[in-house]
Amino acid sequence: MKDTRVIEFAKKHREDVIDTLQLRLKERRVLYTLLLILCVTITYENSSVILSYLVGSSHQVPELGERKTPQLKPDMLKRLDRALAETSEDFPQYWARFAGNQKRLGEAAGLLAEEGSAGLALEKVNQVVVSMKEFAAHPIIKSTKSLEKLNAEMVSVQRILKLKADTAEAELKPLVFVRESAAGGSQSNRNLFEYSLR
């Protein structure tokens, strides 16, 4: 026997339907907002992994409390070279030392332009600083304005690049301002007291 009962559905007015649709729209907005917050949180928590994936494994993210290693810049070399040139005018008899140090600075600038040669450039600059510190600390050298300016530049470079160029313990070497000539060694020995009649 068939069940002939009539099932009555709840009647909804037009306002009820509109309220239901608006409620679903609000729920969707809340859901999208929560999903967006979740994505931002996941990205923030895994930022180092994502950054290393995007930038590459060679990129190092500095840890808390670590400082970046100081880098040699072309401006430092230019300022030091300018100070060397000005000081060399006050001490023309020591042109060989100044010319050698200016040559080293030129080589350092060339090495700095090449990729991966910053360490060698830093060594050249350290040699210049040590050489000129020895020169400035020598007792026979009188201080001038340009020498004081050069000293200030060298102190600045030492502080920024953390160079160690202490000349206090080094022994004083004589300041040579003439070239060694090989002409004296090539002369034959002569005896002035020998005299022969011909």
Q: Are residues 38 and 95 in the same domain?
A: no
pLDDT tens for each residue of 127-184: 888 888 888 888 888 888 888 888 888 888 888 877 776 655 445 566 665 555 555 5
Q: Are residues 98 and 152 in the same domain?
A: yes
**Number of domains into which the chain is organized:** 2
Return all residues near 100 (Cβ < 8 A) that are at least 6 apart: 131
| Among 70, 76, 198, 91, CA closest to 128 | 76
Q: Are residues 151 and 96 in the same domain?
A: yes
Q: What is the pTM of this model?
A: 0.51
174 inside domain: no
Measure the CA–CA gap between 51 and 165, rounded to whole angstroms: 39
Q: Are residues 39 and 110 in the same domain?
A: no
Measure the CA–CA gap between 139 and 57, rounded to whole angstroms: 53
pLDDT at 197: 47
Residue 30 has pLDDT above 90, yes or no: yes
| Among 128, 132, 130, 136, CA closest to 106 | 128
83 inside domain: yes
Q: Are residues 126 and 157 in the same domain?
A: yes
Measure the CA–CA gap between 108 and 120, rounded to whole angstroms: 7
155 inside domain: yes
Q: Are residues 43 and 79 in the same domain?
A: no
Q: Are residues 51 and 82 in the same domain?
A: no
pLDDT tens for each residue of 134-148: 888 888 888 888 888
60 inside domain: no
Angle at which helix 145-161 crosses helix 74-90, to 10 degrees, equals: 150
pLDDT tens for each residue of 63-83: 666 566 667 788 888 888 898
Q: Are residues 78 and 157 in the same domain?
A: yes
Q: Containing domain of residue 86, as a range?
A: 74-161
Residue 36 has pLDDT above 80, yes or no: yes
